[in-house]
Chains A and B, each alone.
Chain A
């Protein structure tokens, strides 16, 4: 691996650090962080990766990073880059990631904290038995035929709700893009990708993916929380996963295409993982159509898991759907590239916004938000580590001014997986989590070791930076009581 290159960083205001453009960088880099967070950020190669992203042709404004930034591959995790198709702007699969439309959804219920006390282990057993997790997880539902897969890739969560009866129109309304990216064309998805996806619908996978049951324990904005159907003591469910093997294969397939495209179009990049093609090129257009299919698969996947979770809750507590009241608060993607209109230097431009470990965060009044949420702003779901807390935020006006309508997506790792495993040796990890009041069910001990709370930044520090910068505001906090890990 290449040696670390020195990158200058200077503070421009309380919450923002800038990397001035140097040779090859077309725009500056900007990292949103506090004094405390920037010290950790400087310890890995993520700052260098912010500078590398600034090399992309057609990048607009700045190569941005949210406060949960950490070292990824190509793009940093927590990176945002907007490119202009009209000015030779590129699309980079590395700016989306392998797990296309990895994302989070949060559901609220009519259940209160006291309703589930004493039942959490039984509930987590039921969820663990029903939602496949871990390596090679598959067959949550009957495998789809190739024809069914093609319908799903075109229609996303709509296919699961309307053709398979797994969910409601209300679920679609509260999913980013209503659960379906336009321009999806299954003709640009390889047979191997479709084959990998056929058996994996409704599964979590492993790594940092999870299904979590939590209690709203702090309300910061009672008006917005009430609009979302939450008050102190409300039981909620978080689901974090993506497009599974289908999305990974789409990314792999198009990295090969893009590796040739950079030679064809004479694009010079500091890291091969940033390979890209002009949005207006044949290669760029094909990737965008395939990426939309993978994004649609991910929304369908989270919708099927939602359906399975609803069944588990109803069976465990012997209640019907009305008493359960499990309604989708919102579903956001945090690995995606989308065309959005943004005002740059007073001009409205259509840009391709890459969010690699970053979440869309449109403010109140934005016409792109569902009508029943428009008065408060778009909900943003920020999972923390499995022992501390997660946050529900809403987009604020500063997001459109500073970050192309983007905010953070999680706590962000502070410790490598190798170091986290070393720290866990000889420890009763499940017992430690139980002492914190969290019941953990996992397919493997090693994943739990890598995902222990000490491996992550404190998510409270991350969301406070975004609030301080005027990008997103806190609505409520969720304290986990049960977690399923892959």
Chain B
């Protein structure tokens, strides 16, 4: 298994992802890639612009939920697609990083599904065999 990545898992009503990385910031960056797969064809999104993002949460699970919610709102409210997240820093209750992406261009971008929320269902960030892992269920 690679040191970071994600894969879709079967969930009856919604969409689930197993995500892993060798660090917590890496896990948050991978989670952004997984989320984008639900909403649009990520490979067509250029790294044309940068947006700084910062969220707060009382534990790693709440931080991850808010990090992904904020990423999704770039799309719903700002019609802006995220290609990737870099420079992710987790310090105390705060998570910050840089999103790379561009505004929606209907001629180039294929949109898939809206999401309603990032759920807490079964959400637990754990360290196993030297990797950080979690499973995220997204309500669609």
Binding site for B on A (CB under 8 A): 1-2, 44, 46, 70-74, 77, 97-99, 134-137, 195-196, 205-207, 245, 248, 251-252, 255-256, 259-260, 271-273, 275, 413-419, 443-444, 446-447, 450, 486
Stretch at the interface among B9-17, B20-28, B44-52, B86-94: B9-17
The CA-CA distance from A413 to B14 in the complex, in Å, is 10
A417 and B62 contacting across the interface, CB-CB below 8 Å: no
CA gap between A444 and B39 in the complex, in Å: 10
The distance in angstroms between the C-alpha atoms of A71 and B119, with both chains bound, is 13
- Chain A residues with Cβ below 8 Å from B54 are none
CA A196 – CA B139 in complex, angstroms? 17
Known contacts A2-B124, A98-B139: A413-B13 contact under CB 8 Å? yes
Given contacts A1-B9, A73-B137, A205-B114, 16 further A-B contacts (CB under 8 A): A1-B121, A72-B121, A73-B13, A73-B139, A98-B116, A98-B117, A135-B76, A135-B112, A255-B120, A272-B61, A273-B123, A416-B10, A416-B12, A417-B140, A418-B10, A444-B111
Could you say which of B12, B75, B112 contacts A447, with CB atoms under 8 Å apart?
Answer: B112
Candidates A1, A71, A99, A251; contact of B12 at CB < 8 Å = A71
* Chain B interface (Cβ < 8 Å from any Cβ of A): 8-16, 39-40, 58, 61-62, 69, 75-77, 79, 104, 110-114, 116-117, 119-124, 135, 137, 139-140
Chain B residue at minimum C-beta to C-beta distance from A421: B8
- Closest approach, in angstroms, between the C-beta of B72 and any C-beta of chain A? 10
A-B contact pairs, 17 of them (CB 8 A): A73-B13, A73-B119, A98-B139, A135-B112, A135-B113, A136-B114, A205-B114, A252-B69, A252-B117, A255-B120, A273-B119, A273-B121, A275-B120, A413-B12, A415-B12, A418-B9, A444-B110
Set of chain A residues within 8 Å of B10, measured between Cβ atoms:
416, 418-419
**Quick check: A196 and B116 within 8 Å, CB to CB?**
no
Which 6 residue pairs across A and B have the least CB separation, nearest first?
A: A73-B121, A1-B122, A416-B10, A1-B135, A73-B119, A71-B12
With both chains docked as a complex, state the minimum distance between the C-beta of B120 and any C-beta of chain A, in angstroms: 4
Inter-chain contacts of B140 with A (CB < 8 A): 206-207, 417
Inter-chain contacts of A72 with B (CB < 8 A): 13-14, 121
CB distance from A62 to the nearest CB of B (A): 22
Distance (whole angstroms) from the CB of A57 to the closest CB of chain B: 19
**Given contacts A134-B114, A135-B112, are A272 and B120 in contact (CB under 8 A)?**
yes
**Chain B residues, CB < 8 A from A77:** 13
Within 8 Å CB of B117, what residues of A? Answer: 98, 248, 251-252
Q: Is there an interface contact between B11 and A416, defined as CB atoms closer than 8 Å?
A: yes
B77 contacts across to A, CB distance below 8 A: 195-196
Q: Is the CB of A417 within 8 A of B11?
A: yes
Roughly how many angstroms separate A112 CA and B139 CA in the complex, as a whole number?
A: 38
- How far, in angstroms, from A252 to B76 measured CA to CA in the complex? 15
Q: How far is the CA of A486 from the CA of B39 in the complex (A)?
A: 12
The majority secondary structure among interface residues of chain B is: loop
Q: Once the chains bind, are A135 and B39 in contact (CB under 8 Å)?
A: yes
Q: Known: A259-B62, A273-B121, A443-B111. Is A71-B11 also a contact (CB below 8 A)? A: yes
* A135–B73 alpha-carbon span in the complex (Å): 11
Nearest-Cβ distance from residue A295 to partner chain B, whole angstroms: 15
Give chain A residues whose Cβ lies under 8 Å from the Cβ of B137: 1, 73
Most A CB contacts (10 A, CB to CB) among B39, B58, B69, B111 go to: B111
A417 to B137, CA, bound (A): 12
Residues of A near B120 (CB, < 8 A) are 73-74, 255, 259, 271-273, 275
* Residues from chain B with Cβ under 8 Å of A73 in the complex: 13-14, 119-122, 137, 139
Q: State the Cβ distance, B21 to closest chain A Cβ, in Å.
A: 17
Q: Evaluate contact between A256 and B62: CB separation under 8 angstroms.
A: yes
| CB-based contact A418/B8 at 8 Å | yes
B118 nearest CB neighbor, chain A only: A252
Q: How far is the CB of B22 from chain A (nearest CB, A)?
A: 21
Chain B residue contacts of A70, Cβ below 8 A: 12-13
What is the CB-to-nearest-CB distance from A371 to chain B, in angstroms, rounded to a whole number? 36
Residues of A within 8 A of B110 (CB): 444
Contacts of A137 in B (CB 8 A): 114
For A447, list chain B residues within 8 Å (CB). Answer: 112-113
- A321→B11 CA distance, assembly (Å): 44
Given A98-B139, A135-B111, A251-B117, the answer on whether A418 and B123 have CB atoms closer than 8 Å is no
Contacts of A245 in B (CB 8 A): 76
Nearest CB on B from A217, distance (A): 28
Chain B residues positioned under 8 Å from A99 (CB to CB) = 116, 139
Cβ of A414: which chain B residues have Cβ within 8 Å of it? 12
Which residues of chain B are within 8 angstroms of A273 by Cβ–Cβ distance? 119-123
Inter-chain contacts of A446 with B (CB < 8 A)? 112-113
Bound-state CA distance A7–B14 (Å) is 22
Identify A271's interface contact among B12, B16, B58, B121, CB under 8 A: B121
Give the chain A neighbours of B104 by CB distance below 8 A. Answer: 136
Indicate if the CB atoms of A135 and B121 lie closer than 8 Å.
Answer: no
Which A residue sits closest to B59, measured CB to CB? A259
Distance in Å: Cβ of A322 to nearest Cβ of chain B: 37
Select from chain B the residue with minimum beta-carbon distance to A75: B121
Cα A46 to Cα B119 in complex, Å, equals 16
Residues of B within 8 A of A415 (CB): 12
Known contacts A1-B135, A195-B77, A272-B61, A417 near B39 by CB under 8 Å:
no
Task: Decide if A71 touches B13 in the complex (CB within 8 Å).
Answer: yes
Cα A260 to Cα B137 with chains together (Å): 21
How far is the CB of B17 from the nearest CB of chain A, in Å? 10
Which residue of chain B lies nearest to A243 when distances are taken between CB atoms in the complex? B116
What is the CA–CA distance of A195 and B123 in the complex, to the nearest angstrom? 28
**Cα distance A70–B135 when bound, in Å?**
19
Tell me if A417 and B15 are in contact (CB < 8 A).
yes
Neighbouring B residues of A419 by C-beta, 8 Å: 10
A72 to B110, CA, bound (A): 27
